[in-house]
Amino acid sequence: MTPRAGYHHGDLRNALEQAALELVAERGPQGFSLAEASRRAGVSAAAPFRHFANREALLAALAMRSYEEQRVRFARAAGGAADPIEQLARFASAYVGFAVEQQALFDVTFGAGLVKREHPGLEEAGQRVLDVLRAPAEQLRAEPAAALELIHTIAATAHGFAAFLREGVLTDRARAEVSAAAAARVLAHQPDQRLPS
Amino acid sequence: MTPRAGYHHGDLRNALEQAALELVAERGPQGFSLAEASRRAGVSAAAPFRHFANREALLAALAMRSYEEQRVRFARAAGGAADPIEQLARFASAYVGFAVEQQALFDVTFGAGLVKREHPGLEEAGQRVLDVLRAPAEQLRAEPAAALELIHTIAATAHGFAAFLREGVLTDRARAEVSAAAAARVLAHQPDQRLPS
DNA sequence: AAGGTAATGTTAATAGTATTCACATCGATC
DNA sequence: GATCGATGTGAATACTATTAACATTACCTT
């Protein structure tokens, strides 16, 4: 965290990402500007372009970071259980927790208007986050298509709860975590073929 | 669509909203600027401020429109069925359909970085959209808290599928609609108290 | 150790944006 | 028909992103 020694910064790329995250945390998903981030890093407004093609690219780098962080958190959360259903439930709960505890990362990834299609690595990194669900889903559904659908359904539900919390539709984090986990359990239990009555 | 008659536009507020929507449709959630919208409406860059407090306020107005549109669409969709479970399923499917058919409205509402907390009417309008689920949820869950949880869970799942489609996590609209509806049915069927085995 | 090169910063310029203020025009009302 | 409030205009301010030409430095090669 040496702000500046001489002419060169030494770790500008990181300092800019850090500053950007803080700006998003302070001012919301739009409140980030390269100029202000540069100011906080103590460099000129042109310096960022040595490290990022443009403003979007910085956001994309943060989104990538976000996906990495998600991957490890969700893997750790799911790893805490042996039962596949419980693994899915813990993923859902952890997903909601991430949106709250890492608001800035979550906002950058989903609320800053980043167009992921234009940043090839991003879409793939996003998909990789869902790999955590692969093993438990395949234990619960023999048919590959059914396993994939379960993955998407659990993830969509978790994402919905997380987004609603960030949007203000929901306000109680703990309740959202519990509901997301409960939904995951219900969805995991119930293969479509065996709908009651 | 009278672009301009004399000094006064006649319907500038609407023209600006329309132009803004088109910009979002063409250039993504960030691609909208007051200046460009003004240009398309054929007025000066200062004109919008007679109708909107600032740029955010225009977005907020569009989000309000979006919620209205959602309300009628979802009510119509759910109204097509008598069975409460089927009403929930149709809501979920319609939610996904809205995100695809009205991309610009959906993007403005959820992907443009609008901070809804700062626009009082918006949060309420968002909640009102979920009122469509009230009657079926209460038929399925006697306990008010359980009914509310069901509402939130169905809506979150639908929103997740919709968001994943817009994000590129999913690409097949029809499949997403079917999965969302299927998830809704499973979630509706299964009161937490009666988890199998 | 010397020197060349690529990486990393700086300054200055351009172009676009939001927002405000003083002024212009117009529609409706007394 | 004069007046007033609503709606537009133009010019000014203050940011922002981005680029180009130039400066400094780290590092690699000899």
**pLDDT tens-digit series, residues B138-153:** 999 999 999 999 999 9
Tell me if B115 is assigned to some domain. Answer: yes
Task: Compute the average pLDDT of residues A11-26.
Answer: 97
Mean pLDDT, residues B18-26 taken together = 97
Task: Please indicate, yes or no, whether residues A81 and A32 belong to a single structural domain of this protein.
Answer: no
Query: At A4, is the pLDDT very low, low, confident or very high (cuts 50, 70, 90)?
Result: low
Same domain, B67 and B45: no
* Residue B129 CA: distances (Å) to CA of A18, A55, B44, B56, B64: 37, 35, 36, 22, 11
Nucleotide C24, nearest residue via CA and C1': B7
Partner-chain contact A186 B187, CB within 8 Å:
yes
Answer yes or no: do B35 and B78 share one domain. no
Give chain D positions with protein CB within 7 A: 6-12, 15-21, 24-26
Q: Specify the pLDDT at position B28.
A: 92
Based on the fold, state whether residues B23 and B72 are members of the same structural domain.
Answer: no
CA of B50 to C1' of D9 (A): 12
B190: in domain: yes
Residue A184 lies in a domain: yes
Residues B103 and B29 in one domain: no
Residue B192: the pLDDT is 54
Q: Is the confidence at residue B12, as pLDDT, over 70?
A: yes
Overall average pLDDT of the A104-117 stretch: 95
- pLDDT-derived band at A193, boundaries 50, 70, 90: low
pLDDT band at A2 (very low <50, low <70, confident <90, very high): very low
Per-residue pLDDT tens over the stretch A111-168? 999 999 999 899 999 999 999 999 999 999 999 999 999 999 999 999 999 999 999 9
d(CA A143, CA A141): 6
Calculate how close chain A gets to B44, using CA atoms only, in Å.
25
Domains of chain A: total = 2
User: Does residue B168 sit at the A interface (CB-CB below 8 Å)?
Assistant: yes
Answer whether residue B58 is part of any domain: no
One domain, residues A157 and A116: yes
Q: Check whether B120 has a pLDDT greater than 90.
A: no
pLDDT score of A168: 94
d(CA A76, CA A95): 12
Q: Of A42, A23, A37, A104, which Cα lies nearest the Cα of A69?
A: A104
- What are the tens digits of pLDDT across the range B59-100? 999 999 999 999 999 999 999 999 999 999 999 999 999 999
CATH of residue A155's domain is 1.10.357.10
Flag whether pLDDT at A190 surpasses 80: no
With cut-offs at 50, 70 and 90, classify the pLDDT of residue B1.
very low
pLDDT at A120: 82
B40 sits within 7 Å of strand D by its CB: no
The secondary structure of A58-77 as a DSSP string is: HHHHHHHHHHHHHHHHHHHH
Find, among A155, A171, A33, A115, the residue nearest to B116 by Cα.
A171
Q: Are residues A123 and A170 in the same domain?
A: yes
Taking the C-alpha atoms of residue B93 and residue A68, their distance in angstroms, rounded to an integer, is 31
DSSP B161-186: HHHHHHHTS---HHHHHHHHHHHHHH
Please state, for a pLDDT cut of 70, what percent of chain B lies above it. 94
> What are the two backbone dihedrals, phi and then psi, of residue A171, each rounded to the nearest 5 degrees?
-130, -15
Within-domain flag for A45: yes
Q: Using a CB–CB cutoff of 8 Å, tell me whether A182 touches chain B.
A: yes
One domain, residues A156 and A187? yes
> Between A52 and B196, whose confidence is greater?
A52
Determine whether the interchain pair B152/A170 forms a contact, defined as Cβ–Cβ distance below 8 Å: yes
For all residues of chain B together, what is the average pLDDT? 94
Is residue B153 within 8 angstroms of chain A, CB to CB? yes
Question: Does residue B101 sit in the same domain as residue B134?
Answer: yes
Task: Look at residue B197 and tell me whether its pLDDT is greater than 60.
Answer: no
Q: Is B196 on the interface with A (CB under 8 A)?
A: yes
In a domain, B5, yes or no: no
Burial of B193 (0-12, 13-18, 19+ CB in 10 A): exposed
pLDDT in tens, A29-83: 999 999 999 999 999 999 999 999 999 999 999 999 999 999 999 999 999 999 9
A3: in domain? no
Of B123, B155, B159, the CB nearest to A168: B123
CATH of the domain at A22: 1.10.10
Residues B93 and B187 in one domain: yes
Residues B16 and B91 in one domain: no
Å separating the CA of residue B4 from the C1' of nucleotide D9: 15
Per-residue model confidence (pLDDT) at position B4? 66
Give the nucleotide at minimum CA-to-C1' distance from A47: C9
Check residues 38 to 77 of chain A and report those whose beta carbon is under 7 Å from nucleic acid strand C: 42-47, 50-51
Is the confidence at residue B106, as pLDDT, over 60?
Answer: yes
Position B3 in a domain: no
Query: Per-residue confidence at B9, pLDDT binned at 50, 70, 90?
Result: confident
Q: What's the mean pLDDT when you consider all of chain A?
A: 94
Q: What is the pLDDT, as a whole number, of residue A1?
A: 39
Whether residues B24 and B93 fall in one domain: no
Asked whether residue A9, judged by its CB, lies under 7 Å from any atom of the DNA or RNA strand C, the reply is: yes
State pLDDT tens for residues A130-144: 999 999 999 999 999
Tell me whether residues B186 and A185 touch, CB distance under 8 A: no
Residue B33's domain comprises 12-50
